[in-house]
Amino acid sequence: MFQKVLIANRGEIALRVIRACKELGVETVAVYSEADRESLHVRFADDDVCIGRPPGRDSYLNIRHIIAAAEITGADAIHPGYGFLAENAEFAEKVCASNITFIGPTPDQIRRMGDKATARTLAQQLGVPTVPGSPGPVDAVEEGQAIAAQIGFPVIIKAAAGGGGKGMRVASTAEQFGQAFTLAQQEALAAFGSGQVYLEKYLARPRHIEIQIMGDTHGKVMHLCERDCSVQRRHQKLIEEAPSPAVDQTLRQDIGDAAVRLAESIGYVGAGTIEFLLDTDGSFYFMEMNTRIQVEHPVTEMCTNFDLVKEQIRVAAGEPLSFVMSGNRLRGHAIECRVNAEDPARNFQPSPGLITAYHPPGGPGVRVDTHIYAGYTVPPYYDSLLAKVIVHGNSRAEALARMRQALDSFIIEGVTTTIPFLGRVMRHPDFQAGKVDTKFLEREPQLLKDLA
């Protein structure tokens, strides 16, 4: 096992990794930007190093500073969390070249799955269904037009290097295509340094279903069933749950097998997520693989009783997977709500600032993963996630009731949060019935009206 793990991240996920390390008896190093001096991850780590100014590129994205911090403090492994450098193959490579273990897949695995167009081709070769679309990346507008006409409108143009909903544009008609294509290329170039895009048919009402994967260095890959992340705004997840109300045991086996086949084909090591779209007719299509721990991993933890972050660390240290999934079944039902410092009434505009009062919900089956406290100032530089509320119940109905009471008793004052909005979604008849898809919020603008 490692002696000392450096966490190359901030916020709730940095705290989450510190907890896992403490349970494993491993020392921790926090890195932080000048804007995060007062952060809890700095307080709870055994060691800490300031790595630069607040903007990401000067600190949490600065590979040189992070590796230097690991070397100075004698860390023998680095956990990247999610976001920032978590899926940066160059970072993983430089970490390994410095004789430090990268807690995650190999640089080659990150690269192979990081290019979404290549990952799509791999899926096709393995007989895993993909959404009808371009056979590979598309360079010219005219070529794209021709393919779009063939697959039929609407189509979605996606950045090959994409992530976080960026570099994606929908074209509903041939007339819109040219502009959407150019915008997607520009956005992709600005966000990812590569303007390469590809096309997919834009499904009308899909659900987002993803499979949690775990692989070890002894050749074992297994899946831990699905999460349903269909409640999205602008292609970004807001609420996640497991199991999916739309997945029965047969479909679970089929999607799970497809996910394992993909991960096995590259000898995948560590935690990963394979994302699919589930169409209304029950067909599922591979979308992409994320080669890291996900924001929504706790819903799987609540339904399996496995600690995915501890497992990531163990596997990186060369240990075999410590658990098996019996019969590919989840226990009870879990829901996660992402609480953001944003104003839903103002187009979800970020609302940073001082938290003046804080009281988290509690009770049986309620978990809150957060880094905030009363007196903490939410800096304007990073994503606006304040807390994740995760509940577990014996049934979906019990989980829903638990989430409603948890949100109603969650006090965060000083900044505007999405709590009242999330409470409304929990009470919406379609959500209660489990009948949502990725366009649900688009169809329900009244959920945003007159929020207290």
C-beta separation of 328 from 253 below 8 A = yes
Spatial distance between the Cα atoms of 410 and 420, rounded to a whole number of angstroms: 10
- Residue pair 129/286 in contact by the 8 Å Cβ criterion: yes
Q: Measuring CA to CA, which residue among 99, 81, 5 is closest to residue 46?
A: 5
User: With binding defined as CB under 6 A, does residue 110 bind ligand ADP?
Assistant: no
Characterise 267 by phi-psi region: left (phi > 0), alpha (psi -120 to 50), beta (else): left
Q: How far apart are CA 160 and CA 204, in angstroms?
A: 22
d(CA 40, CA 42): 5
Contact between 241 and ligand ADP (CB under 6 A)?
no
Min CB(203)–ligand ADP separation in Å: 4
User: Could you say which of 62, 232, 291, 312 contacts ligand ADP (CB under 6 A)?
Assistant: 232
What is the dihedral sign for C-alpha 240, 243, 245, 250?
positive
| DSSP for 121-153, written as a single string | HHHHHTT--B-SB-SS-B-SHHHHHHHHHHH-S
Q: Which residues contact 303 (CB under 8 A, 6 or more apart)?
A: 225, 242, 243, 330, 331, 332, 333, 334, 392
| DSSP string of 215-249, one letter each residue | E-TTS-EEEEEEEEEEEEETTEEEEEEES-TT--H
Residues 119-158 that bind ligand ADP (CB under 6 A): 131, 156, 158
Q: Where are the beta strands (DSSP E) in 219-348?
A: 221-233, 236-242, 270-278, 284-290, 333-340, 342-343
Select 168 or 321, whichever has its Cβ closest to ligand ADP. Answer: 168
Decide: is 202 part of the binding site for ligand ADP (CB under 6 A): yes
> Which range in 12-20, 107-115, 202-210, 265-273 contacts ligand ADP by CB under 6 A?
202-210
With binding defined as CB under 6 A, does residue 391 bind ligand ADP?
Answer: no
Classify residue 438 as left (phi > 0), alpha (psi -120 to 50) or beta.
Answer: alpha
Min separation Cβ 288 and ligand ADP, Å = 5
Tell me whether residue 363 is exposed, middle or buried, using C-beta atoms within 10 angstroms of its C-beta: 0 to 12, 13 to 18, 19 or more: exposed
Q: Is 208 in the site for ligand ADP (CB under 6 A)?
A: yes
Nearest approach in angstroms of CB 287 to ligand ADP is 5
Among 136, 164, 318, 375, binds ligand ADP (CB under 6 A): 164
Distance from C-alpha of 50 to C-alpha of 54, rounded to nearest angstrom: 10
Shortest spacing between CB 253 and ligand ADP, in angstroms: 22
State which residue, 157 or 339, has the beta carbon closest to ligand ADP: 157
Q: Does 61 bind ligand ADP (CB under 6 A)?
A: no
# of chain residues touching ligand ADP (CB under 6 A): 22
Task: Give the nearer residue to ligand ADP in terms of CB position, either 2 or 268.
Answer: 268
Comparing CB distances to ligand ADP, the nearer of 236 and 394 is 236
Rounded least distance, CB 170 to ligand ADP, Å: 8
Identify which range of 77-85, 163-171, 241-249, 350-358 contacts ligand ADP by CB under 6 A.
163-171
Decide: is 379 part of the binding site for ligand ADP (CB under 6 A). no
**Is 311 among the residues that bind ligand ADP (CB under 6 A)?**
no
CB closer to ligand ADP, 202 vs 421: 202
- CB-nearer residue toward ligand ADP: 131 or 436: 131
Interface with ligand ADP includes 203 (CB under 6 A)? Answer: yes
For the chain, percent helix, then strand, then coil, each to nearest 5? 35, 30, 35
- Dihedral angle of Cα 425, 430, 431, 434, to the nearest 10 degrees: 180
Which of 129, 163, 360, 420 forms a contact with ligand ADP (CB under 6 A)?
A: 163
- Determine if 115 is a binding residue for ligand ADP (CB under 6 A): no
For ligand ADP, the binding residues in 253-292 under the rule CB under 6 A are 275, 277, 287-288
Q: Which is nearer to ligand ADP, 288 or 307 (CB)?
A: 288
Minimum CB distance to ligand ADP, residue 235 (Å): 4
Which region among 182-190, 201-209, 338-346, 443-451 touches ligand ADP (by CB under 6 A)? 201-209
One-letter identity of residue 156 = I
Q: How far is the CB of 140 from ligand ADP (least distance, A)?
A: 21
Phi and psi at residue 183, in whole multiples of 5°? -60, -45
Choice between 22 and 201, CB closer to ligand ADP:
201
Alpha-carbon distances, residue 57 vs 33, 187, 195, 224, 448 (angstroms):
10, 18, 20, 34, 34
Q: Residue 162, interface with ligand ADP (CB under 6 A)?
A: yes
Catalytic residues: 292
List interacting residues with ligand ADP (CB under 6 A).
Answer: 131, 156, 158, 162-166, 168, 200-203, 206, 208, 232, 235, 275, 277, 287-288, 438
